[in-house]
Chains A and B, each alone.
Chain A
Amino acid sequence: MISEWSNGMSRRRAIQASFAAAAILMAPRLSQASPAKVQEELKKLFGDKKPTEGKIRIDAPQIAENGLVVPITVDVESPMTDANYVKSLHLFADGNPQPGVASFKFTPASGKATATTRMRLAQTQNIVCVAEMSDGTLHTASAEVKVTIGGCGG
């Protein structure tokens, strides 16, 4: 170590480096979703089309005590007529083992582009929703849910 310091690596740098190495070693063992994985999924679904923010309201708890059962309601603003309706709505969680949560397909007969379900969240993370309208435009919204006890049972 002493020779390393004289090589220009300060004691502080050495300590920082050892912390960084420890952080890598302590990273979760399971394969993990990440914001990048969510973007990958979106690319698979929609190609290079970029969604715009807005038109979606996410109703989920800010703090979920039990990650096994987290209620979520997603509501997309739309008249739901034959000419203008929400075709599909996709939910992703960027900190779960797999990014996909659910995908909903609506029709004008749905009346409202609203769906409620219950999901599992492994840890505190962002929920990302993307809606595809009948004219092909995309909208997105996200919400952070803090999870006290993770819900992956592992």
Chain B
Amino acid sequence: MSTKPTPRVRLPANAKKDEIIEIKTLISHEMESGQRRDGAGNVIPRKIINKVTAAFNGKVFFEADWHPAISANPYQAFFYKASESGEFTFTWKDDDGSEYVAKNKLSVA
């Protein structure tokens, strides 16, 4: 474990009603696959982010389950159909139980 994973999210601050916006997310995380061995030949235990959820005003609209085949510093992009102003909550769940959260506001004209 190097540094604390930092999520980064990029999305427009404003949208028209029914506009489909793209949300791009990135989080720093080594995504240790559990397949590698250290110098002494011992398997390095798996430690990945296994789930990402995206919710708007508390309602989940996108989920991704990640397996060890997802690259380090995982990137995930997806879409959202804007309906009303509110706040996004993005949650990354780690194998060790910790959760990393990012929040972003969206205003809909």
**Genuine A/B complex:** yes
Binding site for B on A (CB under 8 A): 30, 68-71, 73, 80, 93, 96-98, 100-112, 114-121, 151-154
CB pair A110 B62 closer than 8 Å: yes
A110 proximity list for chain B (CB < 8 A): 61-62, 78-81
Check B69–A96 contact: CB distance below 8 A: yes
Q: Does B36 contact A (CB under 8 A)?
A: yes
Asked if B103 lies at the interface with its beta carbon under 8 angstroms from chain A, I say no
Query: B77 on the interface (CB 8 Å rule)?
Result: yes
Across chains A and B, the number of contacting residue pairs, with CB separation under 8 Å, is 104
User: Once bound together, how far apart are the Cα atoms of A68 and B30, in whole Å?
Assistant: 12
Mask: chain B, 4-37; 1 = CB below 8 Å from A; 0 = not = 0000000000000000110000000000010111
Instruction: Note all chain B residues with C-beta closer than 8 A to A111.
Output: 20-21, 79-81
In whole angstroms, what is the CA distance A28 to B61 when docked?
Answer: 40
Q: A30-B35, A107-B61, A152-B33 are in contact. Are A112 and B67 (CB under 8 A)?
A: no
